[in-house]
Amino acid sequence: MKNNDFAKYLTSFFTEYLACERGASHNTIRSYSNTFVLFLNYMDEMKHVKAENISVGHLKRKTVLDFLNWLQNEKFSKDSTRNQRLAAIHSFSRYMQYEDVIHLEQWQEILSIKIKKTEKRNVVYLSVEGMKLLLSQISGTTKTGRRDLAMIALLYDSGARVQELIDLAPVDLHLVQPYYVTLYGKGKKKRLVPLREQQVKILKEYMEENGLDRLAANQKPLFANNRGGKLTNAGVTYILSRYAANARVANPELMPETISPHCLRHSKAMHLLQAGVNLVYIRDILGHVSIQTTEIYARADSKQKRQALEAAYVDVLPVIEEKSSWEKDSKLREWLKSLGK
C-alpha cells in the first residue's frame, strides 16, 4: 500500500461519498471530520506516525480499539462520544469495502467492533410554570432581549433541535395563516411545524426591527450574532443558561441545575403529551423517524402514568377495617392482654 493512500481514500470519502452520494448533513460531516482529526492526533502521539505517512494498512481492528480506549482513558470521552467516533469509522469502513475489495476482511473486522451500551438518561424538561418563568426573565426593553425572546420562544414552540434553529432563515417562516415554520432535520428531512399566533407576533416584531421582513433578507440567518453571522450551538446554550440562572434564583424548584437547548425540545414534547396530543403527532412535530423514539416521553411522564392507572383501576382487594383507636395504643393493648392472665 502507498503511504498516501489513506489521504486519498479519506478525501474521496468526505467529498464524493458523504457530501454527494449520501447527501450527509453539515453536522454529520463535521462530526466525522472531528473523529479523523482525533485519529491523526492519536497516530502521531501514540504510534509516532505522521499524518502524511499513514496508509489504510494502519487502520486495523486493534488500532481502532486502541484509539477508542485512548479517547476514554486519556481524553475522558464518555461512552456515547466513543460510540459516535466508532460510527464515523464504521461508515468509512463500509465505504472502503467497495473501494478496497482486496482488504475486505480488514474492513469487516473493524465493522465487527461493537458499540458500548450506554445508560439511558432521564428526560430533563421544564414544567409549564418553569417555561413561563424562564421566558419572563428575558427583557423586552433591549434589542438583544427582543432577539433572545424570539429565539428561545421559537426554540420551545417549534420543538426544534438547536442546529435546526441556527440554520433558519426568514424564508423558512410562513407568517400568514396557517402559521408554520419549515425545519430541516437529520438527513435534510423537511417538516412543517405549526406556530401559535402569539409566537408569530413576537417574530414579526423582531424581524421588522432587524430588517428581516424585506425580500432581500430572505436568506440571511434568522438569528445572528453581533457580526451578522449564524449563532453557534455553544452561543445559543450560553444565552439560554444566562436566563436560566436568573430563573433559578427566582424559583429554584422550577429550574433544573443544568439546562440546554434540547431541554426546551423535551419540554415541548412533554407539554404536548400532557395536553393529550397523540404520540404520532408529537413524533411528526419533533421529526423522529420512529415512534419508539417519541415513546421516551410517555415513559418519563409519571403523572400521566399514575392517571392512566387510576382510570383503569378495578377494586378487587378486600376492605381492611380500620382498627379502633384503643387497639392502636400499644400500652393499652398490653394492659388488656394482661387482664386475662
For 197-216, write each residue's pLDDT tens digit. 999 999 999 999 999 999 99
Q: Could you tell me if residue 278 is inside a domain? A: yes
Per annotation, catalytic residue among 17, 125, 243, 297: 297
Which of 51, 80, 111 is the C-terminal boundary of a domain? 111
Residue 142: closest CA among 88, 194, 209: 209
Q: In this predicted model, what pLDDT tens digit does every residue of 176-198 receive, in sequence order? A: 999 999 998 877 788 999 999 99
The pLDDT confidence band at residue 23, using thresholds 50, 70 and 90, is confident
**Residue 214: active-site member:** no
**Residue 186: active-site member:** yes
| CATH label of the domain that carries residue 66 | 1.10.150
Q: Classify residue 48 as left (phi > 0), alpha (psi -120 to 50) or beta.
A: left
**Residue 161: active-site member:** yes
**Residue 288: active-site member:** yes
Per annotation, catalytic residue among 61, 186, 220, 230: 186
Beta-strand pair 190-194/180-184:
antiparallel
- Strand order from edge to edge, sheet including 180-184: 173-174, 180-184, 190-194
The pLDDT confidence band at residue 240, using thresholds 50, 70 and 90, is very high
Q: Could you tell me if residue 22 is inside a domain? A: yes
Q: Could you tell me if residue 180 is inside a domain? A: yes
Rg (CA), the chain: 28
The verdict on 65 and 204 lying in the same domain is: no
Predicted TM-score (pTM) of the model is 0.67
pLDDT at 1: 47
The verdict on 76 and 165 lying in the same domain is: no
| CATH label of the domain that carries residue 264 | 1.10.443.10
Q: Domain range holding 290?
A: 128-306
Per annotation, catalytic residue among 82, 248, 265, 283: 265
Q: Could you tell me if residue 58 is inside a domain? A: yes
Domain count, the chain: 2
Which of 79, 111, 143 is the C-terminal boundary of a domain? 111
Statement: residue 259 has pLDDT above 50: yes
Q: What is the mean pLDDT of residues 38-53?
A: 94
Per annotation, catalytic residue among 146, 161, 268, 271: 161
The pLDDT confidence band at residue 282, using thresholds 50, 70 and 90, is confident
